[in-house]
Amino acid sequence: MSTPAGTHEGTARGTARGTVAPAGSAPSRELDVCALRADFPLLGRTEQGRRLTYLDSAASSQRPRQVLDAMRAYEETSYANVHRGVYALAEEATRRFEAARDNVGRFIGAPEPGREVVFTKNATEAINLVAHTWGRANLRAGDTVLLTEMEHHANIVPWQMLAAERDVTIRWVPIDDDGLLVLDDLDRLLEGVKLLGVTCASNVLGTINPVAELAQAAHRVGAVVVADGAQSVPHLPTDVSSLGCDFLAFSAHKMLGPTGIGVLWGRAELLEALPPFLGGGEMILDVSKDGFTPNEVPWRFEAGTPPITEAIGLGAAVDYLRAVGMDAVRRHEVALTAYALDTLQSRFGDAIRIFGPLDATRRGGVVSFVLGDVHPHDISQVLDQYGVCVRAGHHCAKPLMRRLGVTATARASFGLYNDLADVDALADALGEARAFFA
Amino acid sequence: MAGLEDLYREIILDHYRSPRNRGELPSPPAYRVEGFNPLCGDEIVVTLDVEDGVLADIKIAGSGCSISQSSASLMSAAVKGKPVAEVRDLIRTFKGMMSIHEASLPHDGHDRADGAASGPVEIVSGEPEPVDVEALGELAALQGVVKFPVRIKCATLSWNTLAQGLDEVGTAS
Ligand SMILES: Cc1ncc(COP(=O)(O)O)c(C=O)c1O
């Protein structure tokens, strides 16, 4: 593994094994994308003789060699089931698993990483966990849950399931035509609300929501705030204390880590008060024929053998992001997004409809659009011929699609490894798509 | 890798740009049925008029990609005025052409029209029946779609929806 000169931020408290400093990290804290790309084996792939243009990081990011290596090294040298093992190997595995938890917690500024970070399968399961535990313990018939029109299905359906079961009402914060939340009426919207579910950054519009402001208002009426960080934690510096939410959900596979693991961060005192989620091993302190005593947090919510290798991978991903620097990641993605918005608008003018705010500083690196009357599915098909990977569809946000008056959009989304050439490749391929269907 | 021209044949682009039998028949008396493709958000509305065992009239509404729209248009032109039994045969033949790959695709279970296809249009599993592509006429232009497995559901959406409609009309009368 490489230890490039000029890496500065400590990996000392990161993973136990080796360094995960990315090739592109430099003292200036600006991204050297060209060097950094070398860390991502998959980006070396060619399609139709061209460089692959991967613009689907909002769905899943590619992983750097440092993450893949950490997982492999763990499997080859330290693998055992965690917790309760008395032998040295199991102890080491447990230590590394818990170190990953701690590391992830510190990455998001958790005051008590060891108690507040729950490993789940993904962001979806993290939100479902809140609905099952907090929701079932606290929501009664006649209560209201407030969501926004731009939520991903992951932050809608769990509440709808609960609403159907408990006779709970769901209310919606509307969006305006720029794809921003309309908050003029927030106090009225919050009346009688027990829980606010809000995405930190929209996976369709890119919009970055004022979660801190919303959380403050929600707390004034005693509501609990569940923030969906699936699109923000990978791309923006995150500090749960300044976000002000009570729960934060995110997935490893969108932040350079593996699939199969996600995180629910929750305020320690809230988690302490919650009943268990799934039942089984790991989540108990004692079981008799008459019943069980639930375990301490966070293990209370982690029934069964957890995704151990994946936790190691997530820890390595966090090390990588930290070494690059989340401020640098954000600056890079703002520049890229601004360039994309500019290029697409000047190239296609009125023919392109870009959703969400047109100010790159107000949004994440997600650009959804429709081009003329070419269906997004056909666009992505033509783009694929040019080695450009974009997603087309409703992006698991059907209420938002209805609000926008479309059934589908095409979506290009950026990661720290994308560069201006990727945007140019997108624009060129879009030009071909238009010509093809003209 | 298959090229774009395998997928987007001239006939397909023609039906996409000028769809036949577009719109909705007043229902009732016509029977109305909807289909969805959750993958791309395609929605299709088929209204059909069955009289004395004949599919007397059919119209297609909804929105979707070029493959789903052109397939629906081609379908409407092929089945309009045909005896229902013949229409069912055609559906089977068309699905046969598409099923070669559909059988090997993971089924996501979201496709309402597909999910409802418990009637005569089972997805062929195991040995595919030989398909008489000649009998499909213009519809054979959609053959290239099987080289693009994710698009097969686009092509079959209207057919599954029609099959569902024929089943429901049959049980309703
Ligand atoms: C905003 C948002 N929330 C939640 C999710 C769900 O993530 P996962 O599928 O990893 O649970 C996604 C991913 O598509 C997302 O973009």
Tens digit of each residue's pLDDT (9 = 90 or more) over A256-295: 999 999 999 999 999 999 999 999 998 999 999 999 999 9
pLDDT, residue B172, reads 58
Domain contains B67: yes
Residues in chain B within 8 Å Cβ distance of A407: 40-43, 63-64
Report the alpha-carbon distance of residue A426 to residue A111 in Å, rounded. Answer: 42
Nearest residue to B25 via CA among B70, B55, B69, B65:
B55
Domain contains A6: no
Same domain, A317 and A417: no
pLDDT, residue B148, reads 85
How would residue B137 be classed by pLDDT, with cut points 50, 70 and 90?
Answer: confident
Domain contains B147: yes
Same domain, A45 and A114: no
pLDDT, residue A29, reads 62
Same domain, A195 and A135: yes
Domain end position, chosen among A300, A322, A344: A322
Query: Quick check: A381 and B39 CB within 8 A?
Result: no
Number of folded domains that form chain B? 1
Same domain, A186 and A53: no
- Does the beta carbon of A148 sit less than 6 angstroms from any atom of ligand 1? no
Q: Is A396 assigned a catalytic role? A: yes
Domain limits at B153? Answer: 4-168
Tens digit of each residue's pLDDT (9 = 90 or more) over A336-363: 999 999 999 999 999 999 999 999 999 9
Q: Are strands A53-54 and A117-120 parallel, antiparallel or unpaired?
A: unpaired
Q: Mean pLDDT score of chain A, rounded to an integer?
A: 93
Residues in chain B within 8 Å Cβ distance of A399: none
Domain contains A9: no
Percent helix, strand, coil in chain B, to 5, is 50, 15, 30
CATH code, domain with A312:
3.40.640.10
B29 or A1: which carries more pLDDT confidence? B29
Interface mutation target, options B36, B66, B67, chain A, most CBs of A under 10 Å: B66
- Atom 14, ligand 1: residue with shortest CA distance: A59
Q: Which residues pair with A266 in a beta bridge?
A: A247
Report the alpha-carbon distance of residue A60 to residue A196 in Å, rounded. Answer: 26
Report the alpha-carbon distance of residue B37 to residue B156 in Å, rounded. Answer: 10
Domain contains B45: yes
Nearest residue to A366 via CA among A400, A399, A318:
A400
- HSE of A144 in the Cβ direction (CA atoms, 13 Å)? 14
∠ CA(A342), CA(A343), CA(A346), 5° rounding?
A: 80
* Nearest CB to B42 within list A398, A407, A436: A407
Same domain, A21 and A71: no
Q: Which atom of ligand 1 is nearest to the CA of A154?
A: 4
Domain limits at A122? Answer: 67-322
Query: Quick check: B66 and A378 CB within 8 A?
Result: yes
Domain contains A1: no
Same domain, A74 and A29: no
* Nearest CB to B65 within list A378, A401, A436: A378
- Atom 7, ligand 1: residue with shortest CA distance: A123
Same domain, A34 and A127: no
- Does the beta carbon of A232 sit less than 6 angstroms from any atom of ligand 1? no
CA A291 to mean position of chain CA atoms: 37
Task: Report how far ligand 1's centroid is from the alpha carbon of A129 (Å).
Answer: 15
Mutation test residue for ligand 1: of A125, A254, A395, the one with most atoms within 8 Å of CB: A254
Task: Report how far ligand 1's centroid is from the alpha carbon of A261 (Å).
Answer: 12
Residues in chain A within 8 Å Cβ distance of B3: 385
What is the rounded average pLDDT of the residues A75-82?
94
Q: Residue A285 to residues A44, A191, A280, A292, B117: CA-CA distances in angstroms? A: 49, 40, 11, 7, 49
CA distance A350 to chain B (A): 21
- Does the beta carbon of A123 sit less than 6 angstroms from any atom of ligand 1? yes
ipTM: 0.75
Report the alpha-carbon distance of residue A73 to residue A25 in Å, rounded. Answer: 23
Domain end position, chosen among A322, A355, A386: A322
Domain contains A358: yes
Tens digit of each residue's pLDDT (9 = 90 or more) over A17-40: 444 556 655 444 678 999 999 999
Q: Residue A349 to residues A342, A352, A353, A372, B121: CA-CA distances in angstroms? A: 10, 6, 9, 10, 46
CA distance A64 to chain B (A): 28
Residue B128 clears pLDDT 80, i.e. is over it: no
With 0-12 / 13-18 / 19 or more C-beta atoms within 10 angstroms meaning exposed / middle / buried, residue A8 is exposed
Q: Residue A373 to residues A376, A438, B59, B64: CA-CA distances in angstroms? A: 9, 9, 21, 10
Domain contains B69: yes
What DSSP string runs through A39-61? T-GGGG-EETTEE-EE-BTTT--
CA distance B85 to chain A (A): 34
- Own/partner contacts of A273-281, CB < 8 Å, gap of 24 or more, are A273/A137, A274/A133, A274/A134, A274/A137, A274/A300, A274/A301, A275/A133, A275/A136, A275/A137, A276/A133, A276/A300, A276/A301, A276/A303, A277/A129, A277/A132, A277/A133, A277/A301, A277/A303, A278/A303, A278/A304, A279/A303, A280/A304, A281/A305
- HSE of A79 in the Cβ direction (CA atoms, 13 Å)? 13
How would residue A149 be classed by pLDDT, with cut points 50, 70 and 90?
Answer: very high
Residue with tokens 């209201």: A144
Task: Report how far ligand 1's centroid is from the alpha carbon of A347 (Å).
Answer: 31
Same domain, A266 and A278: yes
Domain contains A349: yes
CATH code, domain with B144:
3.90.1010.10
Domain contains A5: no
Query: Quick check: A377 and B8 CB within 8 A?
Result: no
Locate the chain A residue with the closest alpha carbon to B40.
A393
Report the alpha-carbon distance of residue A393 to residue B153 in Å, rounded. Answer: 14
CA distance B40 to chain A (A): 4
Same domain, A217 and A301: yes
Residues in chain B within 8 Å Cβ distance of A376: 40, 65
Tens digit of each residue's pLDDT (9 = 90 or more) over A189-229: 999 999 999 999 999 999 999 999 999 999 999 999 999 99
Domain contains B18: yes
Domain contains B80: yes
Q: Out of A200, A245, A389, A396, which one is annotated catalytic?
A: A396
Domain end position, chosen among A322, A350, A366: A322
Phi, psi of A75 (to 5 degrees): -65, -35
CA distance A311 to chain B (A): 28
Q: Residue A259 to residues A59, A69, A121, A377, B111: CA-CA distances in angstroms? A: 11, 15, 8, 25, 25
Q: Are strands A144-148 and A53-54 parallel, antiparallel or unpaired?
A: unpaired
Domain contains A315: yes
Domain contains B173: no
Same domain, A305 and A332: no
Examine residue B120 and say whether the peptide bond preceding it is cis (omega within 30 degrees of 0): no
Residues in chain A within 8 Å Cβ distance of B7: 381
Interface mutation target, options A47, A377, A391, A395, chain B, most CBs of B under 10 Å: A377
CA B49 to mean position of chain CA atoms: 17
∠ CA(A434), CA(A437), CA(B4), 5° rounding?
A: 100
CATH code, domain with A394:
3.90.1150.10
Check: CB of residue A196 under 8 Å from CB of residue A214.
yes
Query: Quick check: A393 and B40 CB within 8 A?
Result: yes
Look at chain B and count its residues: 173
Prediction pTM value? 0.88
Nearest residue to B154 via CA among B41, B36, B43, B68:
B68
pLDDT, residue A148, reads 98
How would residue B139 be classed by pLDDT, with cut points 50, 70 and 90?
Answer: confident
Residue B111 clears pLDDT 50, i.e. is over it: no
Q: Which atom of ligand 1 is nearest to the CA of A262?
A: 10
Same domain, A287 and A215: yes
How would residue A438 be classed by pLDDT, with cut points 50, 70 and 90?
Answer: confident
Residues in chain B within 8 Å Cβ distance of A394: 38, 41
Tens digit of each residue's pLDDT (9 = 90 or more) over B10-61: 888 888 889 999 999 998 899 999 998 877 678 899 999 999 999 999 999 9
Number of folded domains that form chain A? 2
Domain contains A2: no
Same domain, A343 and A238: no
